[in-house]
Every structure is written in C-alpha cells, then in structure tokens.
Chain A
Amino acid sequence: MDQEAADDELDLAVVLGAQAHLDIRRALLAVRQGRVRKRTGGSRPGRRPNRPRDFDLGARAIMRDYFGADGEPPVYGEDAFEERFRMPRPVFNRLFRAIHDQPGWRRTVNATGRPQAHAIQKVSAALRVLGYGEPFDRSDEYVRLSRSSIDVYTRRLTHFIIDKWESTYLRRPTAEELEHIMRRNAARGLPGCIGSIDCTHWTWARCAKALAGQYKDRNGKVSVVIETVCDEDLYIWHLFVGCPGAYNDKNVLAASPLMLDINDGVWPPRTYQYTLNGRSRRLLYYAADAGYPRYAIFALPHAKPDTPKWLV
C-alpha cells in the first residue's frame, strides 16, 4: 500500500515537473521572439465596453417568429422555417435538444449578474452562417450576438455535429442498407448499382495567398473539390473534401479513400450477385459521369451514343 502511494506521488511529481518545464520553455520562447501574448477580454482601461445588445430581445424575436410566444402562433410557417434554417423542424428540434444543455451552449449568468445569450440565439446564428454562407456579423441585428461570438458558435456547432453524428450519418451503408439501395436501383433499371459518384467545386472565399495558385479551378476561382457518393434520394454515403480546385474528377478519385478501399478489395463487397442481361455478376458499380475513368467499377454514359439503345 505504501509502495503504491509512493508510486502515485512519484507519478504526480513527474507530471508536475514536466508541466513546469514546458511552461518555462514556452515563456522563454515567447520572450525571446517578442511574442508576448496580448491580453484579450475582461475589463481593463481603454477597452470599449460591451455593447448593450439585450440578449433577451434576440431570443424573444426568434421565439416569436418561428416558435410562437405568449400564446400566439409563430409569425412564419413551416415553409419559411425550412427555407431559413435549411432543415425541417423535427431535425432542428433534434439538434436543439441535443445541444442546448451542453457546456458553452446553455444560458449562463456573467460576473455582473446579467443573463447571457440563450441557446436558441447561438444555434440560430450558427445555422444562418452554415445555411446561407453569410458573414458572421450579418445576423447580429437579429440574433443580438457579436461577430466573434457567432464565429465561435459556428465552429462549435460543426464540431458538435461531427462528434455526435458522423458515425451515424456519414458512413458506408450497412449490409441491410446496401441491399435496400440495390433493390431500389434494380427497380429503376440499374441492378448492382450502389450509388452515384460525382465531384463539385466549393469556392474558398478567403484562401491563403500561398495556396491560391494550387487551388484555382478551371474557371479561375479558388475552390476545393468535394467528392460525394449518394443514393437516389441524394443521401450522402461518402464525402471527401479538401482536394485543390485544380484537380479534376480523376485526380480527386486517385486521392480519395474510396479508391484506396477499392484498390485493396475491401469495397465494394463481393458478397452480392446480380443478373444483368442474363449474365451473373459480382462486382457492384457506381453510376458516374464522363469525367471518370473507364473502370469496371463505374457505369459511365456511352462515349458516342449513336443508336436509340445507347441513348436510352
């Protein structure tokens, strides 16, 4: 027992010593490079006081407009809700229920005793940025949050969504789902098809200058390429983001984890058999456009459709 206690104390001493060593090194480095961090936040002489934004006003406005307040129905109906938030109300409710009590999102009281922003304001502001792609200070007048706060909450919201739902909503189909996808595609005349693959360019508005040449696409805009695989409902089963805009579909495919799995034989599964034109096959395929290579894993449009059969 004494030995264990001594070991624990020794471990603690080692950790504290290492931490102190790191702190000293960091302080020396900061002094040497003249990078003494500027003090931010808090009350100090010369600092502009916080704007009296009246957080309650923002929360009340959102509640009145989209959820109803004081027994009155909401000002905007379901269509407007879905248009503004870019999602159906049940999805918003699910997101809000999951996030509203998380640290950093729940309503707090500051040192002066004033209540801070409500979670509905933070979520609404972040969703406006994601939904409309608007600047962080655009919705300040409505949700009553500062630009820096909206920036922070947008980043937090993306992290929260990824942490909580990536393993559920951004993954490969399970065996049951794959069978369902194939059954529906077979009903559409594409037996053995497990989805459609394509790339799109997403403009990168504030790209670093050093990367601008690499990320410039064929239209001269700086962008990143997004590769997706989706089913007929546009449910996204695979997402690969980040390739420079100068890449075409083939380059992106070569860098994609999807192609790595195809090369390794771990995807698509070879456990399904389907019949096409009386011939039994096992290699499932994706529907793709003409930008993709002529591999057996892709069904592309015919290069020169000169007969009605090829046109159909």
Chain B
Amino acid sequence: MSLPRLINTAKAVAILHNMAIEQNRHGFISQMRRDAAAALRGAEICSPRRGDRPSEAFNKDDGPRCDVVLGGPVTASAGDQVHDGDDDQGPLVGTGRYMRMAEKEAKDVHGHLSLLEDLAEHVWADRGRLLSPYVRLPRSFSTVLS
C-alpha cells in the first residue's frame, strides 16, 4: 500500500469515526455523569442531548462549512484596536511583524509555566465540584474537599 493511499484511508476512517461520534455523542457515559452532577448542583447542562437543535449538538449538514471556519486574519476585539504599524501600539494583523509576535507568544515558555500555575490553582480551588462526576465521595469528604 502506498503512502498516499495510507493517508486517504486514515482520512476516510477519521471521517467515518466523526460521523459515528456525531450520531452517538448524546449517549456517552461521561456526558451523562456530568449532566447528572450539573443537575444536582442546579447548574446549566452544556452537553448535547438527543433532540437538541443541530447547532447545539454539532450535527452538521452535508454542505461545506469552510466559509465560516475561524482562523482567518485575527480580528480585533473590543478595546483592542488594530493599528497600521506606524506607532508602537501593535502590529497590523497579517503582517510579518504580527506573525513573529504571534509565534513568539505561542512558543513562550514563561507563558506556558504561568498557564500551568494558573490551571493548577484553578483546578485545586474547585476540585470538589470537578471530581464529583467521576468519583462518588461521601458527603462528609466532599465537604472537606470543597
């Protein structure tokens, strides 16, 4: 089997896998558990359920959807003006300078360590709630953890 055929086979299998996931994702145990935990807390359920509108459950139509794919030139959000690059307020989106800055930001090791630190603090502070869908703890232990 040649390499291009291998690649095509992998792509086709991945597409079929995604179709199967799209069909079955409302019945996954992890989602049932999380929904049950959310229902106990009275929180909003964010998992797709059978009968949801297509947009909520990621059901797709057959038409190409590439026109709405994110990832084009980054647009400015509120309070973040895009400048023409003449001043020091930031590079123009899509320019070489912007790409260098984006690459630097994405590959920043300090940013990575800061992210890990913040994630650990975030998860540790909320560990009782986050673990509840996956482990069934005695009420007293949950109280201590949270």
- Given A87-B19, A312-B127: A269 in contact with B70 (beta carbons within 8 A): yes
By the criterion CB–CB under 8 Å, are A269 and B109 in contact? no
- CB pair A270 B70 closer than 8 Å: no
Question: In the complex, what residues of B have CB within 8 A of residue A168's CB?
Answer: 60-65
Interface of B is mostly: helix
Judged by a CB distance under 8 angstroms, whether B107 is at the interface is yes
A-side residues, CB < 8 A to B, are: 86-88, 90-91, 94-95, 130, 155, 157-159, 161-162, 164-178, 180, 183-184, 187-191, 202, 204-206, 211, 224, 226, 228, 232-236, 239, 241-242, 261-271, 273, 276-277, 279, 281-283, 285, 293-300, 302, 308-310, 312
- Give min CB distance, B53 to chain A, whole Å: 11
Cβ contact within 8 Å between A266 and B11: no
A171-B66, A184-B47 in contact; A271/B119 too (CB < 8 A)? no
Question: B89 → chain A, closest Cβ, in Å?
Answer: 16
Whether the Cβ atoms of B13 and A300 lie closer than 8 Å is no
Note all chain A residues with C-beta closer than 8 A to B73: 266
Q: Which of A167, A299, A308 is in CB contact (< 8 Å) with B116?
A: A299
Question: Besides the contacts A266-B74, A269-B71, A295-B109, what 4 more A-B pairs have beta carbons closer than 8 Å?
Answer: A87-B20, A174-B70, A242-B7, A300-B112
Pick the contact of A167 from B22, B66, B109 — CB < 8 Å? B66
Are the CB atoms of A276 and B115 closer together than 8 Å?
A: yes
Please determine whether A162 and B23 come into contact, CB atoms closer than 8 angstroms.
no
Chain B residues lying within 8 Å of A279, measured Cβ to Cβ, are: 118
What 1/0 flags go to B1-34 for Cβ under 8 Å of A?
A: 1010111111111111111111111001011001
Binding site for A on B (CB under 8 A): 1, 3, 5-25, 28, 30-31, 34, 38, 43, 46-47, 55-56, 58, 60-66, 68-75, 77, 93-94, 98-99, 101-103, 105-127, 130
Quick one: given A190-B119, A265-B99, are A236 and B106 in contact (CB under 8 Å)?
no
- Contact at A130–B22, with CB atoms within 8 Å? no
Most buried by A among B12, B38, B73, B74: B12
A147 to chain B minimum Cβ distance, whole angstroms, is 14
In the assembled complex, how far is the CB of residue B46 from the closest CB belonging to chain A, in whole angstroms?
5
| Least distance between A62 CB and chain B CB atoms (Å) | 18
CB distance A170 to B112 under 8 Å?
A: no
Nearest Cβ in chain B — how far from A301, in angstroms?
A: 9
The answer to whether B113 touches A189 (Cβ under 8 A) is no
Pairs A–B under 8 Å by Cβ, sample size 16: A95-B16, A155-B5, A155-B8, A158-B9, A169-B22, A178-B70, A189-B122, A202-B6, A232-B30, A267-B71, A281-B118, A295-B112, A296-B107, A296-B109, A296-B111, A312-B120
Which of these, A90, A204, A236, A242, contacts B17 with CB under 8 Å? A236
Chain B nearest CB, measured from A36 CB (Å): 24
CB distance from B134 to the nearest CB of A (A): 10
